[in-house]
Amino acid sequence: MAAEMPTEKGLNFHSKKEILKFNQEEQVAVALAKYIADLSDKFVNEKGSFTVVLSGGTLIDTMRKLVEAPYKDSVAWSKWYIFFLDERVVPLDDPDSNYKLAKDGFLSKVPIPREHIYAINDSLTPEAAADDYEERLKQSVQQGILRKSHMTGFAEFDLMLLGMGPEGHVASLFCWHFQRFEKERWVTFIKESPKPPSERITFTFPLINSALFIAMVVTGEDAADAVKVALSRPHHNYMPLPVEMVSPQLMLTWFLDGPAAHKVRTEC
Ligand SMILES: O=C(O)[C@H](O)[C@@H](O)[C@H](O)[C@H](O)COP(=O)(O)O
Protein backbone atom coordinates (compact mmCIF):
# COMPACT_ATOMS: atom_id res chain seq x y z
CA MET A 1 0.00 0.00 0.00
CA ALA A 2 1.57 3.32 -1.04
CA ALA A 3 1.22 6.20 1.41
CA GLU A 4 0.28 9.52 -0.23
CA MET A 5 2.30 12.10 1.63
CA PRO A 6 2.53 15.90 1.58
CA THR A 7 5.12 17.09 -0.94
CA GLU A 8 7.17 19.39 1.27
CA LYS A 9 10.94 18.91 1.34
CA GLY A 10 11.78 15.76 3.20
CA LEU A 11 8.22 14.52 3.16
CA ASN A 12 7.82 13.63 -0.46
CA PHE A 13 8.42 9.92 -0.60
CA HIS A 14 5.74 7.49 -1.59
CA SER A 15 7.08 4.88 0.74
CA LYS A 16 5.58 1.46 0.88
CA LYS A 17 3.66 0.74 4.02
CA GLU A 18 2.86 -2.56 5.71
CA ILE A 19 0.75 -3.00 8.81
CA LEU A 20 1.45 -6.01 11.01
CA LYS A 21 -1.20 -6.63 13.64
CA PHE A 22 -0.78 -9.15 16.45
CA ASN A 23 -3.16 -10.10 19.24
CA GLN A 24 -0.58 -9.96 22.00
CA GLU A 25 2.33 -7.63 22.76
CA GLU A 26 4.47 -10.76 23.18
CA GLN A 27 3.87 -11.60 19.50
CA VAL A 28 4.93 -8.07 18.54
CA ALA A 29 8.18 -8.58 20.45
CA VAL A 30 8.84 -11.89 18.65
CA ALA A 31 8.12 -10.45 15.18
CA LEU A 32 10.10 -7.27 15.86
CA ALA A 33 13.22 -9.20 16.85
CA LYS A 34 13.10 -11.25 13.62
CA TYR A 35 12.47 -8.11 11.52
CA ILE A 36 15.47 -6.32 13.05
CA ALA A 37 17.75 -9.38 12.80
CA ASP A 38 16.77 -9.93 9.14
CA LEU A 39 17.54 -6.29 8.27
CA SER A 40 20.84 -6.54 10.14
CA ASP A 41 21.79 -9.59 8.02
CA LYS A 42 20.77 -7.81 4.83
CA PHE A 43 22.74 -4.62 5.46
CA VAL A 44 25.80 -6.33 6.96
CA ASN A 45 25.94 -8.62 3.91
CA GLU A 46 25.44 -5.74 1.48
CA LYS A 47 27.70 -3.07 2.97
CA GLY A 48 29.40 -4.44 6.07
CA SER A 49 27.54 -2.36 8.67
CA PHE A 50 24.08 -1.67 10.10
CA THR A 51 23.07 1.80 11.29
CA VAL A 52 20.19 1.79 13.77
CA VAL A 53 18.30 4.62 15.45
CA LEU A 54 16.56 3.98 18.78
CA SER A 55 13.65 5.83 20.45
CA GLY A 56 12.81 5.93 24.12
CA GLY A 57 9.55 4.79 25.69
CA THR A 58 8.35 1.21 25.58
CA LEU A 59 10.32 0.38 22.42
CA ILE A 60 13.38 -0.92 24.26
CA ASP A 61 11.29 -3.39 26.23
CA THR A 62 9.54 -4.52 23.04
CA MET A 63 13.01 -5.27 21.60
CA ARG A 64 13.67 -7.75 24.43
CA LYS A 65 13.63 -10.89 22.24
CA LEU A 66 16.58 -9.57 20.25
CA VAL A 67 18.92 -10.17 23.16
CA GLU A 68 17.81 -13.80 23.49
CA ALA A 69 18.57 -16.94 21.44
CA PRO A 70 18.95 -17.28 18.52
CA TYR A 71 19.72 -13.60 17.86
CA LYS A 72 22.08 -12.96 20.75
CA ASP A 73 24.69 -15.18 19.11
CA SER A 74 23.72 -14.91 15.43
CA VAL A 75 23.47 -11.14 14.89
CA ALA A 76 26.66 -9.38 13.73
CA TRP A 77 26.65 -6.98 16.67
CA SER A 78 30.16 -5.71 15.97
CA LYS A 79 28.87 -4.17 12.73
CA TRP A 80 26.10 -2.18 14.40
CA TYR A 81 26.13 1.60 14.93
CA ILE A 82 23.58 3.05 17.35
CA PHE A 83 22.09 6.56 17.28
CA PHE A 84 19.29 8.15 19.29
CA LEU A 85 16.18 9.53 17.59
CA ASP A 86 15.55 11.85 20.48
CA GLU A 87 17.04 12.30 23.89
CA ARG A 88 16.09 13.98 27.08
CA VAL A 89 18.70 16.61 28.10
CA VAL A 90 19.56 15.00 31.43
CA PRO A 91 22.69 13.19 32.65
CA LEU A 92 23.25 9.88 30.87
CA ASP A 93 22.79 8.01 34.15
CA ASP A 94 19.50 9.78 34.98
CA PRO A 95 16.43 7.49 35.07
CA ASP A 96 14.87 9.76 32.38
CA SER A 97 17.75 9.29 29.93
CA ASN A 98 16.92 7.34 26.76
CA TYR A 99 20.58 6.29 26.64
CA LYS A 100 20.28 4.76 30.11
CA LEU A 101 17.03 3.04 29.13
CA ALA A 102 18.68 1.58 26.02
CA LYS A 103 21.85 0.66 27.90
CA ASP A 104 20.05 -1.14 30.72
CA GLY A 105 17.52 -2.94 28.50
CA PHE A 106 19.53 -3.64 25.35
CA LEU A 107 23.03 -2.26 24.80
CA SER A 108 24.57 -3.82 27.92
CA LYS A 109 23.35 -7.26 26.78
CA VAL A 110 24.96 -7.41 23.33
CA PRO A 111 28.56 -6.82 22.16
CA ILE A 112 28.12 -3.63 20.16
CA PRO A 113 31.46 -1.77 20.36
CA ARG A 114 31.24 1.15 22.78
CA GLU A 115 32.62 3.57 20.19
CA HIS A 116 29.75 2.64 17.85
CA ILE A 117 27.18 4.07 20.29
CA TYR A 118 26.40 7.77 19.79
CA ALA A 119 25.02 9.10 23.08
CA ILE A 120 24.42 12.86 23.41
CA ASN A 121 26.88 15.09 25.22
CA ASP A 122 25.02 15.50 28.50
CA SER A 123 27.10 18.44 29.70
CA LEU A 124 25.54 20.85 27.18
CA THR A 125 22.41 23.02 27.01
CA PRO A 126 19.63 21.74 24.72
CA GLU A 127 20.67 24.18 21.95
CA ALA A 128 24.33 23.17 22.16
CA ALA A 129 23.52 19.45 22.51
CA ALA A 130 21.44 19.57 19.31
CA ASP A 131 24.25 21.41 17.46
CA ASP A 132 26.79 18.93 18.80
CA TYR A 133 24.77 15.84 17.83
CA GLU A 134 24.08 17.23 14.34
CA GLU A 135 27.78 17.94 13.91
CA ARG A 136 28.68 14.40 15.00
CA LEU A 137 26.21 12.97 12.49
CA LYS A 138 27.82 15.07 9.75
CA GLN A 139 31.26 13.86 10.82
CA SER A 140 29.96 10.29 10.67
CA VAL A 141 28.95 10.94 7.07
CA GLN A 142 32.45 12.24 6.31
CA GLN A 143 33.97 9.19 8.00
CA GLY A 144 31.81 6.88 5.86
CA ILE A 145 29.96 5.47 8.89
CA LEU A 146 26.71 6.98 7.62
CA ARG A 147 25.85 7.53 3.97
CA LYS A 148 24.38 10.77 2.72
CA SER A 149 21.27 10.18 0.67
CA HIS A 150 21.47 11.41 -2.93
CA MET A 151 17.70 11.79 -2.76
CA THR A 152 17.46 13.92 0.38
CA GLY A 153 20.88 15.39 1.16
CA PHE A 154 20.43 14.13 4.73
CA ALA A 155 22.11 11.16 6.43
CA GLU A 156 20.56 7.87 5.38
CA PHE A 157 20.12 5.47 8.29
CA ASP A 158 19.39 1.82 7.56
CA LEU A 159 16.70 1.40 10.23
CA MET A 160 14.87 3.70 12.63
CA LEU A 161 12.79 2.22 15.42
CA LEU A 162 10.01 4.61 16.40
CA GLY A 163 7.39 4.67 19.11
CA MET A 164 4.30 6.89 19.10
CA GLY A 165 2.72 8.89 21.90
CA PRO A 166 -1.03 8.65 22.55
CA GLU A 167 -1.67 11.98 20.77
CA GLY A 168 0.39 10.97 17.74
CA HIS A 169 3.85 12.40 18.47
CA VAL A 170 7.02 10.68 17.32
CA ALA A 171 10.58 11.43 18.46
CA SER A 172 10.16 14.76 20.34
CA LEU A 173 8.10 16.26 17.50
CA PHE A 174 4.76 17.23 19.00
CA CYS A 175 1.48 18.39 17.43
CA TRP A 176 1.44 22.03 18.52
CA HIS A 177 5.18 22.70 18.41
CA PHE A 178 7.07 24.24 15.48
CA GLN A 179 9.96 21.75 15.55
CA ARG A 180 7.85 19.34 13.50
CA PHE A 181 8.04 21.76 10.54
CA GLU A 182 11.84 22.16 10.56
CA LYS A 183 13.19 21.71 7.04
CA GLU A 184 16.93 22.45 7.20
CA ARG A 185 18.33 21.21 10.51
CA TRP A 186 19.14 17.54 11.06
CA VAL A 187 18.72 17.77 14.84
CA THR A 188 16.81 20.38 16.82
CA PHE A 189 15.79 20.98 20.44
CA ILE A 190 12.66 21.63 22.46
CA LYS A 191 12.53 23.23 25.90
CA GLU A 192 8.81 22.84 26.56
CA SER A 193 8.10 19.24 25.72
CA PRO A 194 4.52 18.36 26.68
CA LYS A 195 5.89 14.93 27.64
CA PRO A 196 8.32 15.30 30.54
CA PRO A 197 11.14 15.90 30.92
CA SER A 198 10.75 19.25 29.17
CA GLU A 199 14.22 19.71 27.63
CA ARG A 200 15.08 17.40 24.75
CA ILE A 201 16.88 17.15 21.45
CA THR A 202 15.29 15.41 18.49
CA PHE A 203 15.86 14.36 14.90
CA THR A 204 13.82 16.46 12.45
CA PHE A 205 11.43 15.03 9.87
CA PRO A 206 13.78 15.49 6.90
CA LEU A 207 16.35 13.37 8.72
CA ILE A 208 13.79 10.82 9.93
CA ASN A 209 12.35 10.45 6.44
CA SER A 210 15.80 9.98 4.97
CA ALA A 211 15.93 6.55 6.67
CA LEU A 212 15.60 3.54 4.39
CA PHE A 213 13.38 1.50 6.75
CA ILE A 214 11.25 2.65 9.67
CA ALA A 215 9.47 0.39 12.14
CA MET A 216 6.61 2.09 13.99
CA VAL A 217 6.19 0.02 17.12
CA VAL A 218 2.96 0.81 18.96
CA THR A 219 1.38 -1.22 21.73
CA GLY A 220 -1.36 -0.60 24.28
CA GLU A 221 -4.86 0.83 24.33
CA ASP A 222 -3.67 4.43 24.96
CA ALA A 223 -2.45 4.64 21.37
CA ALA A 224 -5.63 3.29 19.72
CA ASP A 225 -7.17 6.65 18.71
CA ALA A 226 -3.98 8.01 17.13
CA VAL A 227 -3.36 4.69 15.37
CA LYS A 228 -6.91 4.85 13.96
CA VAL A 229 -6.37 8.40 12.68
CA ALA A 230 -2.97 7.59 11.21
CA LEU A 231 -4.09 4.45 9.41
CA SER A 232 -7.68 5.21 8.51
CA ARG A 233 -7.97 8.73 7.22
CA PRO A 234 -6.98 9.64 3.68
CA HIS A 235 -4.07 12.03 3.27
CA HIS A 236 -5.54 15.33 2.01
CA ASN A 237 -5.21 18.99 2.90
CA TYR A 238 -5.26 18.89 6.65
CA MET A 239 -2.84 19.26 9.50
CA PRO A 240 -1.41 15.76 9.94
CA LEU A 241 -0.46 14.30 13.26
CA PRO A 242 3.33 14.03 13.54
CA VAL A 243 3.06 10.26 13.11
CA GLU A 244 1.36 10.81 9.74
CA MET A 245 4.43 12.71 8.51
CA VAL A 246 6.64 9.64 8.80
CA SER A 247 7.59 8.45 5.33
CA PRO A 248 10.96 6.70 4.92
CA GLN A 249 12.68 6.16 1.60
CA LEU A 250 11.80 2.48 1.25
CA MET A 251 9.41 0.90 3.75
CA LEU A 252 7.34 1.86 6.78
CA THR A 253 6.29 -1.16 8.84
CA TRP A 254 3.75 -0.78 11.64
CA PHE A 255 3.95 -3.31 14.48
CA LEU A 256 0.68 -3.18 16.46
CA ASP A 257 -0.75 -5.27 19.25
CA GLY A 258 -4.48 -5.92 19.66
CA PRO A 259 -5.24 -3.04 22.05
CA ALA A 260 -3.42 -0.50 19.84
CA ALA A 261 -5.01 -1.78 16.62
CA HIS A 262 -8.56 -2.48 17.71
CA LYS A 263 -10.05 0.74 16.27
CA VAL A 264 -8.46 0.25 12.86
CA ARG A 265 -10.62 -1.30 10.14
CA THR A 266 -9.48 -4.83 9.30
CA GLU A 267 -8.75 -4.05 5.63
CA CYS A 268 -5.98 -1.59 6.60
O1 LIG B 1 11.95 9.88 24.51
C2 LIG B 1 10.79 9.74 24.21
O3 LIG B 1 9.87 10.13 24.95
C4 LIG B 1 10.47 9.04 22.94
O5 LIG B 1 11.40 8.83 22.03
C6 LIG B 1 9.06 9.23 22.44
O7 LIG B 1 8.92 9.72 21.15
C8 LIG B 1 8.41 7.85 22.56
O9 LIG B 1 8.92 6.99 21.59
C10 LIG B 1 6.92 7.95 22.44
O11 LIG B 1 6.44 8.88 23.35
C12 LIG B 1 6.26 6.62 22.70
O13 LIG B 1 6.50 6.26 24.02
P14 LIG B 1 5.85 4.95 24.61
O15 LIG B 1 6.35 3.82 23.79
O16 LIG B 1 6.33 4.90 26.03
O17 LIG B 1 4.37 5.12 24.49
Which CATH number does the domain housing residue 122 bear?
A: 3.40.50.1360
Query: Best mutation site among 54, 94, 160, 164 for ligand 1, i.e. most ligand atoms within 8 A of its Cβ?
Result: 164
Ligand 1 centroid–CA 256 distance in Å is 15
The pTM for the full model equals 0.93
133-155: per-residue pLDDT in tens? 999 999 999 999 999 999 889 99
Ligand 1 near 86 CB (within 6 A)? yes
Domain count, the chain: 1
Pairing of strands 16-21, 251-256: parallel
Ligand 1 near 248 CB (within 6 A)? no
Name beta bridge partners: 215.
161, 253
Q: pLDDT in tens for each of the 268 residues of the chain?
A: 333 333 333 444 566 999 999 999 999 999 999 999 999 999 999 999 999 999 999 999 999 999 999 999 999 999 999 999 999 999 999 999 999 999 999 999 999 999 999 999 999 999 999 999 999 999 999 999 999 999 889 999 999 999 999 999 999 999 999 999 999 999 999 999 999 999 999 999 999 999 999 999 999 999 999 999 999 876 665 789 999 999 999 999 999 999 999 999 764 4
In a domain, 179, yes or no: yes
Which residue lies with its CA nearest to atom 16 of ligand 1?
A: 57
Burial (Cβ within 10 Å: 0-12, 13-18, ≥19) of residue 195: middle
CA distance linking residue 38 with residue 25, whole number of Å: 20
In a domain, 86, yes or no: yes
Domain limits for position 205: 57-63+79-220+247-256
Spell out a b/e string for 39-54, using b for 16 or more CB atoms within 10 Å of the CB, else e. bbeebbeeeebbbbbb
Q: Which helix (H) or strand (E) holds 29?
A: helix 25-47
CA distance linking residue 228 with residue 265, whole number of Å: 8
Q: What is the ipTM of this complex?
A: 0.97
